[in-house]
Amino acid sequence: MRHTRRHFVQGLGVAGAGMLMDTASAQGEIPKRPLGKTGLQVSALGVGGYHIGTTETDDEANRIVAEAIDAGINFFDNAWEYHDGKSETRMGNALKGKRDQVVLMTKVCTHGRKKDVAMRMLEESLKRLQTDHLDIWQVHEVVYDNDPDLIFAKDGAIEALDQAKQQGKVRFVGFTGHKDPAIHLKMLSHNYAFDTVQMPLNCFDASYRSFETQVLPELSKRGIAPLGMKSMSGSGEGVRNGAVTAAEALRYAMSLPVAVTISGMESLEVLHQNLEVARGFQAMNATELTALRNRVRLYATDGRFELFKSTKKYDGALGRELHGFPTPEQLPA
């Protein structure tokens, strides 16, 4: 049941050795890549849900989504907890009449709580997103050392993933986290049949608590679709500092063997900037990738441009509360 369309994608796109071969880029389109073993094809660039909630007006959010789809983006990310539901509500409105053109993902925010909490969140997400099913449903923010234990505990969130799949409310499942490759590997060690796994991937990551070197190869081996995020350090920290340009940062991330690179685009300006890289995308070759990694290594090794790994800054309020940590106001980082 789980991988009925497996035959469709084997051997395409994401090669084990980490080399990436996109087709269709020559025509100036955004390349599509197989999403692991799911049979789905997704655009190499995806729209991040968090930033849809920070966009100034509903109207601009609608235009970002519409323009993205017109440009060939079909991957849309979200999470139950982003801006108290505003991100999902906005995306639901923006996708009205376009639902069947996209691969829609959202995430469940149990942060260690039980299956019933997850199932309630799923209903809320579906309602806000104005759809009867999700293409991908992921466990959100697996960032605390004991999260894997709590997620896989009896009656934990993992059972909700199974149930939602059985009920046909979600097609594929996965998890995401921005903290530590060791936590991701702990999740994978349970050998649960995840379809997707999301993680920070950027030119700094390779030299600091690296998902690229520790998690990506494991996903390739298992045929799980890797979803990249935080190509610009989360809030463009590395770009603002002048360590890299936005185009370099995005190109690096998109050149890794991932299905999609999810990027937050809170304005049309940022969307256009990203589209310039994604249209007719040309992956960096191994030499270019190494050169960029080496160039930024000095900044990378203390984690200053990956504050989601090295500080509490990117750990959400709800997760902190449920893990007994101080609020973002009390403990900004």
Partner 1 sequence: MASIPLRALGKTNVQVSALGMGGHHLGDAKDEKTAVQLVHDAVDGGITFFDNCWEYHLGKSEEWLGKGLKGRRDKAFLMTKVCTHGRDSGLAMRMLEESLRRLQTDHLDLWQIHGVTFDNDPELFARKGGAAEALTLAKKQGKVRFVGFTGHKDPDIHLKMLQTNYPFDAVQMPLNAFDGTFRSFETKVLPELQRRGIGALGMKPFSGHGEPVMKGVTTPEETLRYAMSLPVATTITGMEKPEVLKQNLAIAQGFQPMSEAEMGALRERCATYGDGRFELYKTSIKYDNPEARMAHGFPVDMQSKETQEMLKATKNDGKPFQE
Kindly list the residues in this chain that would bind partner 1 in the complex (CB under 8 A). 144-147, 149, 208-209, 241, 299, 301-304, 307, 310-313, 323-326, 331-333
Query: What six digits make up the tokens of 223?
Result: 């045929």
For the CB of residue 297, give the shortest distance to partner 1 in the complex, in Å: 9
For the CB of residue 275, give the shortest distance to partner 1 in the complex, in Å: 30
Question: Taking the chain, what is the end-to-end CA distance rounded to the nearest angstrom?
Answer: 43
Q: Which is nearer to partner 1, 120 or 190 (CB)?
A: 190
Q: Which is nearer to partner 1, 149 or 162 (CB)?
A: 149
Q: How far apart are CA 196 and CA 224, in angstroms?
A: 5
List the Cα angle 317/321/327 in 5-degree steps. Answer: 55
For the CB of residue 160, give the shortest distance to partner 1 in the complex, in Å: 21
Q: Which is nearer to partner 1, 8 or 325 (CB)?
A: 325
Q: Which is nearer to partner 1, 14 or 243 (CB)?
A: 243
For the CB of residue 301, give the shortest distance to partner 1 in the complex, in Å: 4
For the CB of residue 181, give the shortest distance to partner 1 in the complex, in Å: 13
The residues with which 103 forms a beta bridge, in sequence order, are: 75
Instruction: Report helix, strand or coil for 36.
Output: coil
Q: Which is nearer to partner 1, 42 or 244 (CB)?
A: 244
Which spans in the chain are helix H? 49-52, 58-71, 86-94, 115-129, 147-151, 157-166, 181-188, 211-214, 216-222, 237-241, 246-254, 268-278, 286-300, 307-310, 317-322
DSSP 229: E
